[in-house]
């Protein structure tokens, strides 16, 4: 009997030790993943992250993550994201949750509460699966209703008087899953409405989906924005209702090149029940040298603050100075002869009696461009030199007669064949020089 009791005690001790060991492993894996994520974000020039009030245990953990955004324009308010969190560790998973508040300026105004009249900050919850090293999280961005005064502005002597805009946002729900270097997201926003003196714009049931894999050296990214219904109501006219609007972007960076594909679709637009428009557009940008892009991205990080400050100040000299250090990387990208392809273009408008489609591509000849000295060239000379290097061809079938008339062609011109070479645009034999007159040869 004593032998069986002793054996039972040993089994219980082993089981207890195993349980505690599993708990310790689970909590340690969570801490390791948390530390890696913070270190990865802290390494970015745009962010500075730190953890405070950390209490790490086998069964419970808590703390606070503080993130400072560093790439601010001169004179801009400081931005700090404060995220308290708590975690409960189990054998196979850790559940966690908390809230995030964005603080703006030295007075610690909250974005959600002070700047935007919302009832709560951003809240989130999730779980970390220890064995699979998988993080699942749900984020709730609160809704708000806000009135904003837009100051008067002037463009080329024409003044726009000050006005008021009302923003109504019903919130955003976002689901995020991370496994290794792969992150997927899926978000929904029930309503976004913008109203001013000119129009009322309303977007209903907006959906956002994305997949991100890799790092700044090599990645694959895909983002899709879907708007089932968009309604634009001018102050002095009937509503335009558009259905099934979809934008999709895919970008890949490998050892050789960066390539991007853009797809845009508008299912159908109607005014008072009459169909007026539908269409789609597919484009590809490729032949972007991978090493040149990586160098440009790295250099851009350190100069983004100065560039933004120059833009905000509308200071062309300061902007030229801020962009000058990027010139070698930009020239290296152009030296790869990048190409922009119009893969498909389709427009159907019963109101205009038009069904048009087209395709083509535009390429920049980059041979020898890396030897340029931009500092010794005027803006006009640079523009002309780039235009002369552009080569392209496009073809459009079903172009409306009004477009042909605008181009100075017979109304029966169909298809429209567009060629670009040597700084001259040729549309069905009609030649139009594009070089600036004072610099044309």
Encode burial over 331-358: b for 16+ CB neighbours within 10 A, e otherwise.
Answer: bbbbbbbbbbbbeebbbbbeeeebebbb
Residue 19: is its pLDDT beyond 50? no
Contact between 352 and 401 under an 8 Å Cβ cutoff? The reply is: no
Residue 363 placed within a domain: no
Banded pLDDT at 23 (limits 50, 70, 90): very low
Residue-wise pLDDT for 343-402, tens only, equals 999 999 887 778 999 999 999 998 888 888 777 777 788 888 888 999 999 999 988 888
Position 159 scores a pLDDT of 64
Among 158-172, 294-308, 427-441, name the one with the lowest average pLDDT: 427-441
The answer to whether residue 364 sits within a structural domain is no
Q: What is the value of pTM for the model shown?
A: 0.79
Report how far residue 412's alpha carbon sits from residue 370's, in angstroms, rounded to the nearest whole number: 45
The pLDDT of 164-190, averaged and rounded, is 90
Residue 229 is predicted with a pLDDT of 95
Q: Which of 33, 36, 38, 31 is nearest to 54 (CA)?
A: 31
* Residue 28 shares a structural domain with residue 118: yes
Is residue 95 domain-shared with residue 201, that is, in the same domain? no
| Per-residue pLDDT at 3 exceeds 50 | no
Residue with tokens 């991370």: 178
Range from 96-100, 140-144, 221-225 carrying the lowest mean pLDDT: 96-100
pLDDT in tens, 340-350: 999 999 999 88
Alpha carbon distances (Å) from 276 to 237, 241, 266, 351: 15, 10, 11, 5
Tokens 């196979």, located at residue: 92
Distance of alpha carbon 262 from alpha carbon 333, whole angstroms: 20
- Residues 128, 201, single domain; the answer is no
Residue 393, domain member (yes or no): no
Bridge-partner residues for 117, per DSSP? none
Same-domain check for residues 9 and 126: yes
pLDDT digit string (tens) for 220-270?
Answer: 999 999 999 999 999 888 999 999 999 999 999 998 999 999 999 998 999
At 21, the pLDDT band (50, 70, 90 cuts) reads very low
- 14 and 78 within one domain: yes
Residue 317 lies in a domain: no
Chain mean pLDDT for the chain: 81
pLDDT given at position 76: 64
More confident residue, 304 or 99: 99
Q: 128 and 42 in one domain?
A: yes
**pLDDT score recorded for residue 27:** 55
List the one residue out of 384, 388, 389, 371 whose CA is nearest residue 327. Answer: 371
Give the separation between CA 418 and CA 429, rounded to whole angstroms. 9
Bigger pLDDT: 143 or 56? Answer: 143
Q: What are phi and psi of 153, to 5 degrees?
A: -145, 160
Instruction: State the Cα–Cα distance between residues 231 and 237, nearest whole angstrom.
Output: 12
In angstroms, rounded to a whole number, what is the distance separating the alpha carbons of residues 381 and 90?
Answer: 67
Structural domain contains residue 154: no
Residue 333: partners with Cβ closer than 8 Å, 6 or more residues away:
288, 289, 292, 293, 296
Q: Which residue has the higher pLDDT, 55 or 334?
A: 334
Whether residue 89 sits in one domain with residue 26: yes
Instruction: Provide the domain limits for residue 44.
Output: 1-132
pLDDT at residue 351 in the model: 78
Same domain as 177, residue 89:
no
State the distance between the two ends of the chain, measured CA to CA, in whole angstroms: 109
Q: Which pLDDT does position 65 carry in this prediction?
A: 83
Radius of gyration of the chain (CA): 28
| Total domains present in the chain | 2
Q: Looking at the structure, do residues 121 and 175 belong to the same domain, yes or no?
A: no
Asked, for residue 88, whether it belongs to a domain, the answer is: yes
* 10 and 111 assigned to the same domain: yes
The pLDDT of residue 31 is above 80: no
Residue 431 counted as domain residue:
no
Tell me the C-alpha to C-alpha distance, in Å, between residue 88 and each of 102, 126, 138, 253, 320.
25, 11, 16, 38, 53
The answer to whether the bond into 241 is cis (omega within 30° of 0) is: no
Burial 387-407 (b: 16+ CB within 10 A, else e): bbbbbbebebeebbeeebeeb
In the numeric block, the tokens 């999280």 are attached to: 137
95 and 202 in a single domain? The answer is: no
Whether residue 120 sits in one domain with residue 10: yes
The answer to whether residue 440 scores a pLDDT higher than 80 is: no
In a domain? residue 396: no
């Amino acid at each position: 009997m004593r032998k069986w009791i002793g054996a039972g005690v040993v089994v219980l001790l082993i089981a207890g030790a195993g349980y505690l060991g599993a708990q310790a492993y689970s909590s340690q894996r969570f801490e390791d993943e948390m530390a890696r994520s913070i270190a990865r974000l802290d390494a970015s020039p745009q962010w500075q992250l730190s953890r405070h009030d950390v209490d790490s245990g086998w069964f419970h953990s808590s703390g606070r993550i503080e993130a400072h955004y560093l790439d601010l324009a001169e004179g801009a308010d400081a931005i700090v994201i404060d995220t308290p969190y708590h975690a409960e560790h189990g054998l196979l998973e850790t559940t966690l949750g908390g809230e995030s508040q964005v603080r703006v300026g030295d007075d610690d105004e909250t974005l959600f509460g002070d700047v935007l009249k919302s009832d709560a900050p951003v809240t989130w919850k999730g779980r970390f699966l220890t064995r699979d090293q998988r993080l699942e999280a749900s984020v709730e961005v609160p809704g708000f209703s806000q009135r904003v005064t837009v100051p008067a502005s002037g463009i080329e002597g024409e003044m726009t008087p000050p006005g008021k805009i009302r923003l109504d946002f019903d919130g955003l729900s976002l689901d995020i899953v991370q496994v290794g270097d792969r992150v997927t997201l899926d978000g929904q926003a029930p309503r976004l409405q913008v109203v001013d003196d000119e129009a009322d714009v309303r977007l209903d049931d907006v959906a956002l989906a994305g997949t991100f894999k890799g790092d700044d050296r090599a990645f694959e990214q895909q983002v899709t924005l879907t708007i089932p219904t968009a309604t634009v109501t001018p102050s002095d006219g009937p509503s335009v209702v558009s259905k099934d609007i979809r934008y999709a972007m895919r970008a890949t960076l490998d050892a050789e090149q960066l390539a991007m594909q853009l797809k845009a679709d508008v299912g159908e637009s109607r005014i008072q029940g009459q169909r007026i428009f539908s269409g789609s557009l597919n484009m590809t940008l490729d032949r972007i040298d991978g090493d040149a892009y990586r160098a440009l991205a790295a250099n851009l990080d350190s100069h983004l603050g100065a560039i933004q400050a120059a833009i905000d100040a509308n200071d062309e000299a300061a902007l030229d100075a801020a962009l000058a250090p990027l010139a070698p990387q930009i020239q290296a990208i152009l030296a790869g002869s990048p190409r922009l392809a119009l893969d498909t273009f389709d427009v159907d408008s019963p109101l205009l009696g038009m069904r048009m489609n087209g395709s083509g591509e535009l390429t920049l000849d980059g041979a020898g461009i890396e030897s340029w000295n931009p500092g010794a060239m005027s803006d006009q000379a640079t523009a002309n030199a780039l235009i002369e290097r552009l080569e392209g061809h496009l073809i459009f079938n079903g172009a409306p007669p009004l477009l042909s008339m605008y181009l100075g062609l017979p109304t029966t011109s169909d298809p429209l064949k567009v060629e670009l070479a040597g700084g001259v645009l040729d549309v069905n034999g009609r030649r139009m020089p594009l070089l600036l007159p004072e610099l044309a040869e």
